[in-house]
C-alpha cells in the first residue's frame, strides 16, 4: 500500500515538473517578435537600417523605394542608383542629418553628376579642377584626396587625371609627360542627401523610424526598437533561476515525503 502511494506521488510530482518546464519555455518565447524590416544589419562598420535595406539580409519588401544597398565580399557598402553606371561606395551614413557620404574608386562621378529620378540629391562642392592628359610611359594608378585617375575616360595609350588646384601645383604632380586638357569649375559631389522619408526627429530622440502602416506613402513614425537578444536573455535567465528554485523545492519535498514514508513503513 505504501509503495503504491509512493508511486502515485512520484508520478504526480513528475507531471508538475513537466508543466513547470512547459510554462517557462513558453515564458521565454513569449517576448515581442522583431519585425525583420526593423532589424539593424551591418556591413563592415556601417549600420544599415530604415529607410535603407540591405540586399540578402532584409526581405525584399523592406526599406524605402530606391534605398537599396549591397555588401561586397570585402565588406564594403555599395549604393546603386537607376540609370547611373557608377557604383557609390558608402563611406558613412548620417541618419539624423539624412546624408550619405560616398567615394568613387574610379573617380567617374565627375562624368555623371546629374541624377535621374531619385530620392537622393547631390550635396555638391564647388572646386576648381585641372583635367590632365598623360602618356602611359609612367602608368601609375595614383590617387589621393587631391589627385586621381579617371579610368572611365582613360584609354590604352593615355590617362586622364583630375587634379584639385587647391591641393597641387602642376610641377609637383607625381606624373610625367602630361598636358592640361581643361581647367574649369566642377561641382564635385561628395555626398547624397534625402528629404523623404523624414526620420530626423526619431534619430534625434534616439528612437527608430518606420513608415506608418495606415499613413500615406512617406509618413513615418518613431518607435522603441526591440533589442535583439537582450530581452530574451533576461527572460531565460529569470525563468531558468525560477525553474531551478522550483526544482530544488520539489526535490526537497519529495525527499522529505519519501523519508517519512520509509520511516512509517519501518515501524
Helices (H), 113-226: 200-204
- pLDDT at position 197 is 93
- pLDDT at position 171 is 60
Is 25 within a domain?
Answer: yes
- Domain total for the chain? 1
Domain extent for 18: 2-32+230-265
Question: Is pLDDT at 104 greater than 60 in this prediction?
Answer: yes
CB 147 within 8 A of CB 164: yes
Phi/psi of residue 265, nearest 5 degrees: -75, -25
Question: Cell 526599406 sits at which residue?
Answer: 63
Is 242 within a domain?
Answer: yes
Question: Is pLDDT at 228 greater than 90 in this prediction?
Answer: no
Residue 162, all three cell numbers? 583630375
Question: Is pLDDT at 105 greater than 90 in this prediction?
Answer: no
Query: In sequence order, which residues have a C-beta less than 8 Å from that of residue 223 and are 6 or more positions away?
Result: 38, 207, 208, 209, 210
Rounded Cα–Cα distance for residues 189 and 102 (Å):
9
Rounded Cα–Cα distance for residues 65 and 79 (Å):
13
Is 151 within a domain?
Answer: no
Rounded Cα–Cα distance for residues 23 and 7 (Å):
24
Question: Is pLDDT at 222 greater than 90 in this prediction?
Answer: yes
3-state SS, residue 7: helix
Is 131 within a domain?
Answer: no
**Best mean pLDDT range from 85-89, 118-122, 152-156:** 118-122
Rounded Cα–Cα distance for residues 83 and 58 (Å):
24
Residue 156, all three cell numbers? 590604352
Is 62 within a domain?
Answer: no
DSSP structure class, residue 81: -
Q: Record the pTM.
A: 0.59
CB 50 within 8 A of CB 199: yes
Amino acid at each position: 500500500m505504501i509503495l503504491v502511494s509512493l508511486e502515485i506521488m512520484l508520478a504526480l510530482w513528475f507531471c508538475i515538473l513537466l508543466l513547470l518546464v512547459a510554462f517557462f519555455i513558453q515564458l521565454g518565447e513569449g517576448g515581442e517578435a522583431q519585425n525583420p524590416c526593423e532589424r539593424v544589419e551591418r556591413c563592415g562598420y556601417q549600420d544599415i537600417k530604415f529607410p535603407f535595406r540591405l540586399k540578402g539580409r532584409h526581405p525584399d519588401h523592406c526599406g524605402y523605394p530606391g534605398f537599396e544597398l549591397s555588401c561586397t565580399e570585402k565588406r564594403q557598402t555599395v549604393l546603386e542608383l537607376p540609370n547611373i553606371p557608377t557604383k557609390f561606395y558608402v563611406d558613412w551614413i548620417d541618419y539624423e542629418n539624412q546624408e550619405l557620404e560616398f567615394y568613387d574608386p574610379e573617380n567617374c562621378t565627375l562624368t555623371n553628376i546629374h541624377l535621374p529620378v531619385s530620392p537622393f540629391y547631390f550635396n555638391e562642392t564647388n572646386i576648381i579642377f585641372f583635367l590632365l592628359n598623360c602618356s602611359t610611359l609612367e602608368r601609375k594608378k595614383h590617387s589621393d584626396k587631391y589627385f586621381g585617375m579617371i579610368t572611365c575616360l582613360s584609354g590604352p595609350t593615355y590617362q586622364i587625371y583630375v587634379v584639385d588646384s587647391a591641393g597641387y601645383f602642376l610641377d609637383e604632380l607625381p606624373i610625367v609627360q602630361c598636358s592640361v586638357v581643361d581647367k574649369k569649375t566642377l561641382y564635385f559631389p561628395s555626398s547624397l542627401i534625402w528629404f523623404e522619408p523624414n526620420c530626423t526627429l526619431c534619430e534625434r530622440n534616439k528612437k527608430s523610424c518606420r513608415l506608418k502602416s495606415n499613413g500615406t506613402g512617406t509618413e513615418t513614425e518613431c518607435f522603441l526598437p526591440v533589442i535583439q537578444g537582450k530581452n530574451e536573455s533576461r527572460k531565460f535567465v529569470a525563468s531558468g533561476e525560477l525553474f531551478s528554485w522550483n526544482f530544488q523545492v520539489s526535490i526537497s519535498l519529495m525527499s522529505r515525503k519519501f523519508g517519512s514514508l520509509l520511516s512509517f513503513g519501518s515501524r
